[in-house]
């Protein structure tokens, strides 16, 4: 979510064209999307495979 997350994020942050609040806003949206997607996948595929 922030510049310390990956090397490519650190390079982009080092260019001074993207601020920390901008990175956090995009990162938060992606984190929220992934949580929703993983929850749907869990109920759709994993639980039936494990017969839970």
Candidates 28, 46, 50; CA nearest to 38 is 46
One DSSP character per residue, 7-50 reads: HHHHHHHHTTSS-HHHHHHHHHHHHHHHHHHHHHHIIIIIHHHH
pLDDT digits (tens, 9 = 90+) for 10-29: 888 888 898 889 888 888 88
Rounded average pLDDT over 22-49: 90
Confidence of residue 43 (pLDDT cuts 50, 70, 90): very high
Mean pLDDT taken over the chain: 86
Q: Count the neighbouring beta carbons within 10 Å of the beta carbon of residue 18.
A: 14
pLDDT at 1: 63
The phi-psi region of residue 2 (left if phi > 0; otherwise alpha if psi is between -120 and 50; otherwise beta) is: beta
């Amino acid at each position: 979510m922030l510049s310390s997350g990956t090397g490519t994020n650190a390079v982009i942050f080092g260019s001074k064209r993207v601020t920390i609040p901008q990175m956090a806003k995009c990162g938060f949206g992606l984190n929220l999307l992934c949580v929703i997607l993983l929850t749907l996948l869990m109920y759709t595929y994993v639980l039936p495979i494990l017969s839970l």
